């Protein structure tokens, strides 16, 4: 009998993954990862500071424990707090300091869940590891899930073929509704539990309050990029992303304004009128930190520039061994720091981090 160690989070998806794998005849055990110290943080000076916001981490562990007990599954617990800080949170902060929009969940998968977790699972004699991600593996290649609305291949796109060799995604062939249905059939405590949203280590806490423990708020001007008029004050460039409309303190303006760029040196947040203004559009970008899981030379494929964005046709041109130029028809909101994921229909070919956004063969000066 093959042994599978399942990453259990205390949510409904990983709970049902346990059930499906047990029913398929695997010897199943659970492993709960503690990735964040919810009791004590360090402030921007490196001093400990109590985190008074409600953290669900211990409740998640209790829910995972309840599910495993009900299913007769052994549960292990491992502490990756230091590793998470070193490989994920430090990256997150460094990107924010550069004025970019990072995706820490992608890095968590790359360095924690499908690296350190795998090594830990091997200590328990695992033949495979499994998670509650909505994705499929076909002949060792990563594909989108059947439930396209819940598909998470985007967040798995930085994983190498090597990392995916002994992985199972039991939810890839079913829908979220079916997952809820199965959880209710087994009367699991997680059956009606709300899906986690936002950045994993922040949870339901106030993002601005949380982040101010680590990075100083440096207010600056909000400037109309067309008129160069100062419209108001921003609370810190790190709190804004391209295309954002809400949260702009611009007084009594009657026009809808959208974030279109940043000037890190002058601490300026650029805005423009209208959700379809020209500043939000580009026709190419450069990506680096590239992971490609194919030996074929790729010239034409599809790309997704944000998790919820549509796939768009792109043409790829290799710049050097570390960078690729991605060309496309006008696309809105392509943002430095975000992940550009490449697809051949439903197959995920890999991804890169957006380094530079361009239009008419020139870097957009108002984007970092």
- pLDDT given at position 305: 98
- pLDDT given at position 52: 42
- CATH number among 2.30.30.280, 3.40.50.800, 3.40.50.720, 2.40.128.720, domain 217-273: 2.30.30.280
Rounded distance between C-alpha atoms, residue 350 and residue 342, angstroms: 6
Q: What residues act catalytically?
A: 108, 200
Rounded to the nearest 5 percent, the helix, strand and coil shares of the chain are 25, 30, 45
Q: Per-domain residue ranges for the chain? A: 3-208, 217-273, 281-363
- pLDDT given at position 55: 56
Task: Give yes or no on whether 217-273 and 281-363 have one common fold.
Answer: no
The candidate with the shortest Cα–Cα distance to 107, out of 368, 349, 338, 344, is 338
Answer yes or no: are the C-beta atoms of 261 and 270 closer than 8 Å.
yes
3-208 is classed CATH 3.40.50.2020:
no
Domain 281-363: assigned CATH number:
2.40.30.10
Question: Angle between the 12-23 and 57-71 helix axes, to the nearest 10 degrees?
Answer: 20
User: What is the DSSP-derived secondary structure letter of residue 226?
Assistant: T
- C-alpha pair distances (Å), 114 with each of 6, 132, 157, 164: 11, 13, 12, 8
- pLDDT given at position 43: 47
Answer yes or no: are the C-beta atoms of 6 and 18 closer than 8 Å.
yes
Per-run averaged pLDDT (10 residues), the chain, 368 residues: 97 98 98 80 49 65 97 97 95 95 95 96 97 97 97 98 96 98 98 78 69 92 96 94 89 79 97 95 98 93 96 97 97 97 98 98 94
Rounded distance between C-alpha atoms, residue 3 and residue 22, angstroms: 10
Rounded distance between C-alpha atoms, residue 134 and residue 172, angstroms: 5
Is the entire prediction scored with pTM above 0.85?
A: yes
């Amino acid at each position: 009998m093959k042994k599978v160690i399942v990453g259990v989070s205390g949510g409904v998806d990983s709970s049902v993954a346990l059930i499906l794998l047990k029913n398929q005849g695997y010897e199943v055990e659970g492993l709960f990862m503690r990735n964040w110290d919810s009791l004590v943080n360090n402030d921007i000076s490196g001093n400990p500071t109590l985190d008074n916001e409600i953290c669900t981490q211990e409740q998640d562990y209790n829910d995972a424990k309840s599910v495993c007990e009900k299913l007769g599954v052994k549960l292990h617990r491992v502490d990756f707090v230091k590793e998470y800080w070193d490989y994920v949170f430090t990256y997150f902060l460094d990107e924010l300091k550069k004025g970019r929009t990072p995706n820490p969940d992608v890095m968590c998968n790359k360095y924690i869940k499908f690296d350190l977790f795998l090594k830990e699972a091997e200590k328990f004699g695992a033949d495979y590891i499994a998670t509650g991600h909505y994705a499929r593996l076909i002949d060792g290649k990563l594909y989108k899930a059947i439930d396209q609305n819940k598909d998470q291949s985007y967040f798995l796109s930085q994983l190498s073929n090597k990392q995916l060799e002994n992985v199972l995604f039991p939810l890839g062939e079913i829908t979220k509704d079916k997952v809820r249905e199965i959880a209710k059939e087994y009367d699991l405590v997680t059956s009606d539990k709300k899906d986690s949203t936002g950045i994993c280590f922040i949870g339901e806490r106030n993002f601005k309050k949380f982040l101010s423990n680590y990075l100083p708020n440096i207010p600056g001007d909000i400037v109309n990029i067309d008129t160069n008029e100062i419209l108001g004050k921003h609370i810190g460039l790190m709190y804004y992303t391209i295309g954002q409309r809400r949260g702009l303190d611009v007084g009594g303006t009657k026009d809808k304004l959208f974030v279109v760029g940043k000037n890190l040196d002058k601490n300026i947040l650029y805005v423009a009128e209208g959700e379809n203004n020209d500043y939000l559009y580009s026709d190419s970008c450069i990506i680096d930190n590239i992971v490609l899981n194919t030996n074929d030379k790729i010239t034409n494929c599809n790309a997704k520039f944000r998790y919820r964005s549509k796939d768009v046709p792109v043409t790829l041109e290799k710049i050097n061994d570390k960078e690729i130029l991605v060309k496309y028809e006008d696309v809105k909101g392509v943002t430095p720091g975000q992940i550009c994921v490449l697809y051949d229909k439903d197959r995920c070919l890999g991804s890169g981090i957006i380094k530079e956004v361009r239009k008419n063969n020139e870097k957009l000066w108002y984007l970092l």
